[in-house]
Amino acid sequence: MVLVVGSINMDVNIRVKSLPKPGETVLAKGITQSPGGKGANQAVAAAKSGGDVVMLGCVGQDEAGDALLQSLREFGVNTDYIKRTDEVPSSKAYINISDDSENHIVVDSSANFMVSPEYIASHEELFQQADYCIMQLEIPGDSVYAAEKLCQKYGVKVVWNPSPIDSYEERLLEHVDTLVVNETEGEVLSGIPADQITEADWNQLMEKYDIRSVVQTLGSRGSKLYVRGEEAVTFPAVKCDAIDTTGAGDTFLGALITMFSEGKDAREAFRFAAVASGIEVTRRGTQSAMPTRDEVLTKID
């Protein structure tokens, strides 16, 4: 079983000609809402890839919360343990998407910050059942740390995506099995410019924190796998005509971990994840744009 502990947001997608520069005002070309949040997105990607997925998170007692839970259920995620609160509204993410498919995101955390260490502890039984636990940084760091400690207790492999990186805490690296980063996140964690970081640098970080592997996503240049003490491997991206890159990294991560949970080797797992994210970016939206397992396998075959 794959356990996802993380954020659940309603995404407010704002289409713009170009992303605003500091101090600049731009006019929206259209606004839509759709379920999102890095945690929920990764859970949906894993479930649509065929994984047995359970999620821990929090939504408000509002219409957005109803819609968010319904979306997760429709895509195969077990929502039985998700917390509902009337203290704050469901979280929202405001996403500007430009004509050249780039984006920037501002998140109102609200209900996500109600995912407390006490709530995590109340579902300890799920950690006894899980094989992998996926986490990000859109919930409080104390809660991520509490979940990591339970994973350590029960031998669950921790997959950590430190996003948003500005809330990163060094202690959260201590119990990670697989670290998943993009170039910006890798630069912050290593303290080395993205174009200068080497395999030796990653091995040094893995040795320091006892991390088994690092997965670095490189956009159209594919991805790299660093396993401590082994030679790094580069995996190509899938060529496609992207129209919306929102959720591409979440799609890749969820699909990859589902493959690993099934015992697939790195070559097969990375190929599946690359095809899944390649399909997702050719569609508008996030969770609804993520492909099913059959769609991915059709492209691979």
Note the pLDDT tens digit of each residue in 94-116.
Answer: 989 898 878 888 889 999 999 99
Q: What is the pLDDT of residue 73?
A: 98
CA distance 95 to 265: 35
Residue 246 has pLDDT above 90, yes or no: no
Beta bridge partners of 233: 225
Residue 81 has pLDDT above 90, yes or no: yes
Mean pLDDT across the chain: 94
Task: Indicate the Cα dihedral angle 289, 251, 152, 211, nearest 10°.
Answer: -170
Q: What is the pLDDT of residue 244?
A: 81
Residue 100 annotated in active site:
no
pLDDT (tens digit per residue) in 183-208: 999 999 999 998 899 999 999 999 99
- DSSP secondary structure code for residue 50 in this structure: T
What top-level class would CATH report for the domain 2-8+37-89+110-300?
Answer: alpha beta
**What pTM did the predictor assign?**
0.93
pLDDT (tens digit per residue) in 252-278: 999 999 999 999 999 999 999 999 999
Portion of the chain with pLDDT greater than 90, in percent: 83
Residue 136 has pLDDT above 80, yes or no: yes
pLDDT (tens digit per residue) in 143-186: 999 999 999 999 999 999 999 998 789 999 989 999 999 999 99
Residue 301 has pLDDT above 80, yes or no: no
Rounded-to-5 percentages of helix, strand, coil across the chain = 40, 20, 40
Tell me the CA distances in angstroms from 285 to 12, 31, 176, 288, 291, one per residue in order.
10, 12, 30, 6, 12
Catalytic, out of 11, 52, 244, 250 = 250
Q: Which residue has the tokens 């589902």?
A: 258
